[in-house]
Amino acid sequence: MKHLKILLLMILSLSAFADNWQTWRGKYGNGISDETGIVVNWSRTENVQWRTKLPGRAGSTPIIWEDQIFLTSVAENGDDLLLICLNTDGKVKWQQKLGTGNRNIRGNEGNSASPSPCTDGQYVWAYVSTGDIGCYDFEGNEIWKGNLEKWYGGFDLFFVMASTPVVDGDRLYLQFIHSNVSLLDKAADQKRKDERKSAGMLVALDKMTGSEIWVHERLSDAHSECEHSYASPILYRDEKREFMIVHGADYVTGHRLNDGDEIWRCGGLNRKDRYNPAFRFVASPAAVPGLIVVPSAKNGPVLGLRPDATGFVTDQSNGQRWKRDQNTPDVPSPLIHDGLVYLCRENGVLICMDAETGEEFYQERTHNNRHRASPVYADGKVYLTSRDGVITVVKAGRKFEILAQNEIEEEIASSLAISNGTLYIRSFEALYAIRN
């Protein structure tokens, strides 16, 4: 009986520290895991719990809820687009066809399975860049299905739609920022075209039916490729306020959850006096209570914003905590933890800053290769993933120290996921479960 009690206490202790990873950036939507004891050293064979070959490439991040893993993928035929469910033993449980008509981009680095799924612990939602979207229960039964392009117009982006939805409460939130978005009000749409303004949308759907709750039409003076955003909406929430953050078309904006109306807007990310027509946003903002860190593109600025901002906050002291004029991460999203901001540039340079002031503590090279995945934090360590399959583990803190560099010898564009003591790596070939 004594041994049984000890065993039960151990199980309860482990479960208390186990996190689900329900969206592409985890439990809090910001790349932070509360778990401890996560693996530091591994290889293609060392500390590999299992490796499951996947039917096709994709850069979308797997999500995990308890003993089930969900991910999007291209099928073996290279054309169908799938939602796949695996158990945490690496065995495929079911798969559903979301759509067909895959498009590969950037030398097969990305494709139409780029958006990551999300879950509330009972259902999972996924869409692909053909516009096909579906909701399924954990047994793979279809709850509803539709096509976002038919509802809101074709996705006109230079590359593929890659924005990941957010599920919160009874709603599913999606952002559409691209070239051919048309306003619902035809007169307003014509006026916006006459004034040469671009349009975007933030949409809230009923998560259980797919029916529209509201749509917010988001105007901008951005033009050319700047109209194309590959970023994902980000939910901000603290004890006093909550809103959705939308990033694209030269601006970052905050929106009320009840109706989508704009609370604040911040520009200055693509300077008008030297406008770059190819300044498209890929990296998404990151947020913790009290701070929103906003990246831009192409070595542009990084902003630290206050969440209590209202109105137009560009260059307003009451809206901005700090501004870094250059060195933005172009693709990886920022990471904020324990009063520090980490920026992983595409070339593998890691920048560590003070979250309150923006003061730089270091700027150091990790691995000199293209970094497309966003960094994650767990147990005093920051994990950085490069395109060639090298994952660098850096000690968190003001002083730069590389703890390990691990290679699985397969290309990676997906961000890492952490759940129940396991590090999940999605390469272009397979899904890995890594643990001590």
Whether the per-residue pLDDT at 5 is higher than 60: the answer is: no
Residue 322 lies in a domain: yes
Closest CA to 77 of 114, 102, 42: 102
- The residue segments making up the domain with residue 285 are 18-343
Tell me the C-alpha distance between 233 and 426, whole Å: 22
**Confidence at residue 253, expressed as pLDDT on a 0 to 100 scale:** 98
**Confidence at residue 18, expressed as pLDDT on a 0 to 100 scale:** 66
Residue 254 lies in a domain: yes
Instruction: Determine contact, residues 162/230, Cβ cutoff 8 Å.
Output: yes
In total, how many domains does the chain have?
Answer: 1
pTM of the model: 0.94
Contacts of 212 (CB under 8 A, 6+ apart): 151, 203, 204, 205, 206
| CATH assignment of the domain containing 160 | 2.140.10.10
Residue 421 lies in a domain: no
Residue 302 lies in a domain: yes
Tell me the C-alpha distance between 99 and 80, whole Å: 6
**Confidence at residue 103, expressed as pLDDT on a 0 to 100 scale:** 93
Residue 372 lies in a domain: no
Tell me the Ramachandran region of residue 210: left when phi exceeds 0, alpha when psi lies from -120 to 50, beta otherwise: left
Alpha carbon dihedral 151, 156, 160, 166, in 10-degree steps, equals -40
User: Which of 40-49, 99-108, 265-274 shows the lowest per-residue confidence on average (mean pLDDT)?
Assistant: 99-108
Whether the per-residue pLDDT at 314 is higher than 90: the answer is: no
Residue 392 lies in a domain: no
Residue type for position 67: D
Residue 25 lies in a domain: yes
Work out the percent of the chain whose per-residue pLDDT is above 90: 91
| Per-residue pLDDT reduced to its tens digit, 216-244 | 999 999 999 999 999 999 999 999 999 99
| Per-residue pLDDT reduced to its tens digit, 357-367 | 999 999 999 99
| Per-residue pLDDT reduced to its tens digit, 239-293 | 999 999 999 999 999 999 999 999 999 999 999 999 999 999 999 999 999 999 9
E strands present in 286-385: 286-288, 291-294, 302-305, 311-312, 320-324, 335-337, 340-344, 349-354, 360-365, 376-378, 381-385
Closest CA to 96 of 114, 112, 119, 80: 80
Q: Following DSSP, what letter does each residue of 171-185 receive, concatenated? A: EEEEEEESTT---SS
Whether the per-residue pLDDT at 302 is higher than 80: the answer is: yes
**Confidence at residue 293, expressed as pLDDT on a 0 to 100 scale:** 98
- Beta-strand relationship, 212-220 and 234-237: unpaired
Query: 186 is written with which tokens?
Result: 């035809």
What does pLDDT average to over the chain? 94
Residue 394 lies in a domain: no
Confidence of residue 4 (pLDDT cuts 50, 70, 90): very low
Mean pLDDT along residues 305-321: 88
